[in-house]
Amino acid sequence: MKRLIFIIVFCCVSLYVFGQNKEQSKVQNNAQKFGTTLYLIDNFYVDTVNIDKVVEDAIVGALKELDPHSAYISKKDVEKANEPLVGSFEGIGVTFQLVRDTITVIGPTPGGPSEKVGIMAGDQFIKIDGEDAFGKKVDNEFVQKHLRGKKGTKVVVSVKRGNDPELMDFEIIRDKIPLNSINASFMMEKNIGYIKLDRFAQDSDKEFKTAMAKLQDQGMKSLILDLRSNSGGYLNTAIAMVDEFLGADKLIVYTEGLKSPRQEWRSTEKGVYTSGNLVVLIDEGSASASEILSGAIQDHDRGVLIGRRSFGKGLVQRPFNLPDGAVIRLTTARYHTPTGRCIQRPYEGGTEDYYKEMTKRLEHGEYFHADSIHFPDSLKYKTDGGRIVYGGGGIMPDIFMPADTTFNSKLYTNLVRKGVFNKYTVDYAMQHRDELKKEYPEFSQYNKNFVVSKAMIDAIKELAANEKVEWNDEEFQRSEKYIRLQIKALIARNVWEMQQYYEVTLKEDPTIAKAVEVLSNEKQYRKLIH
């Protein structure tokens, strides 16, 4: 009851602070109405009611009516929600996956606590501080509860390695673990560098500068920046990233809302890559900060965009702290590209309809044919160089690349869904790690020469049967190239690191091939941006 009175008093005091004009009076009246409703429920409802949950559900429902991106985050979920963007947590430092209800290490974080004591890719955690760490009770929550913890605290893991029947005990002192947002950075052919950015986190710009310095030392002249499936992150990080590509005093992005005056951000003279040729890859999974960057690059004719139309998330959320530690992320403005394009796609049909947009794009053929996308002339804008671009939601690339469906057979989907690829490649890497490292001292040798054999396919087929995946030879032939590629790439990841996974898969990526083609032909590149 005290909490209820506090809520009502807080609402009234807050509204009093903001004044007593007509609109605010409406809000005050409704706040009192809501408070009275809670009072009645708490005092007269037939059954026991969790008032906290009622209030949370009401807040969630109210925000849902506003737009698809305003959100309520409970106190217990605030830290978890921020973690991927803050860029670090405290724990033992391993990337893992659950294989047959067992924690299996994909790889230790370089320089982290686990690597320092000798934890290796393929190790399986059988006990944690003496407690069994396998079976149905083991899920992601179990792993986080037992392996994460305050910096300086100790955890003992009992590890099964390879075919050794004896468990090995490792004492690990937890530490601060960085969450890198760059999944891969390496040189491709013809002096072309490649960077895969997973999200716009707190330290992404620092990571980018480090990766760029490494690539430039290796002779990079042109860059492919891969933002496919990058759902965004911090606005300030996006601005800092765009700044790396533009000369001084160019508009990067501006925001504007009914009660949020126009605010602009401009580039400085600090960019580390303001003149080299640039290709940015986007698709329907590229959203928010990814669209700020790609929109600015396109509007200033700074590089070539290749892929498919981006997601179309251009609403600005501002966090507001609630008295109990929860947070409301409330939409307060819209993003606009330098030419004035609004990134946000329409959402008048409601949240549910909004999130069906990707399905609609698929049904309309947008993933496969550029001419299935129509933009009204009223949303036409011109870049610095006079090229026509369109608003209306999302960023349309300069070169359209259809989705590759040759791998999308029912067989391939079920092999992924049932974890057949993961289970097989983890076991294979554990059993053959030493001989693979001996036969291929350099990863480039593995990438060039390793071939997935018929025996390996037969083993996959046998494992698929055990997992009740129906094998269809016609579907296998359709997806054979990608099945073999996935096996090779996952073995590379489990023996080396995540970057090597990308080095394998990108060799057969048609969008990467198009990017390399554009960057290898100066005349074609210049024609696209002028």
Task: From residue 436, give the alpha-carbon distance in Å to each of 115, 183, 400, 431, 482.
Answer: 20, 23, 39, 10, 22
pLDDT score recorded for residue 8? 45
Q: Mean per-residue pLDDT for 286-304?
A: 97
345: Cβ contacts below 8 Å, ≥ 6 apart: 311, 312, 313, 314, 357, 392, 393, 394
The rounded distance, in Å, linking the Cα atoms of 221 and 219 is 6
- Known active-site residue 299: yes
Q: Is CATH 3.90.226.10 the right assignment for the domain spanning 182-403?
A: yes
Name, of 64-78, 135-149, 177-191, 278-292, the range with top average pLDDT.
278-292
Q: Which of 238, 236, 187, 246 is nearest to 211 (CA)?
A: 187
Tell me: pLDDT of 381 over 90.
yes
Q: For 430-468, what is each residue's pLDDT tens digit?
A: 889 889 999 999 999 999 999 999 999 999 999 999 989
The rounded distance, in Å, linking the Cα atoms of 175 and 359 is 43
Concatenate the DSSP letters of all residues of 459-485 into one string: HHHHHHHHTTPPP-HHHHHHHHHHHHH
Give CA angle at 17 (15, 23), nearest 5°. Answer: 45
Record: fold of 88-178: Pdz3 Domain (2.30.42)
Better-predicted residue by pLDDT, 23 or 265? 265
Tell me: pLDDT of 5 over 60.
no
Q: How confident is the model at residue 473 (pLDDT cuts 50, 70, 90)?
A: very high
Tell me: pLDDT of 271 over 60.
yes
For residues 316 and 262, the answer to whether their CB atoms sit within 8 Å is: no
pLDDT score recorded for residue 178? 72
Q: Which of 437, 224, 250, 253 is nearest to 340 (CA)?
A: 253
Q: Any idea where the domains of the chain sit in the sequence?
A: 2-76, 88-178, 182-403, 410-496
Block residue for tokens 């071939």: 451
Q: Mean per-residue pLDDT for 341-352?
A: 86
The rounded distance, in Å, linking the Cα atoms of 266 and 246 is 9
Question: 123, 205, 243, 299: which one is catalytic?
Answer: 299
For residues 223 and 193, the answer to whether their CB atoms sit within 8 Å is: yes
- Known active-site residue 57: no
Tell me: pLDDT of 370 over 90.
no
pLDDT score recorded for residue 86? 60
One-letter identity of residue 502: Y
Tell me: pLDDT of 429 over 60.
yes
Q: For 28-65, what is each residue's pLDDT tens digit?
A: 888 899 889 999 998 998 998 899 899 899 998 899 88
Q: Where are the alpha helices (DSSP H) in 160-234?
A: 204-217
Q: Which two tokens stand for residue 63?
A: 């925000």
Concatenate the DSSP letters of all residues of 283-322 into one string: -TT--THHHHHHHHHHHTT-SEEEES------EEEEEEE-
For residues 92 and 145, the answer to whether their CB atoms sit within 8 Å is: no
Question: 288, 294, 310, 479: which one is catalytic?
Answer: 288
For residues 448 and 503, the answer to whether their CB atoms sit within 8 Å is: no
- Known active-site residue 205: no
Question: 313, 423, 488, 514: which one is catalytic?
Answer: 313
Tell me: pLDDT of 10 over 50.
no
Tell me: pLDDT of 4 over 50.
no
Q: For 95-104, what is each residue's pLDDT tens digit?
A: 777 777 788 8
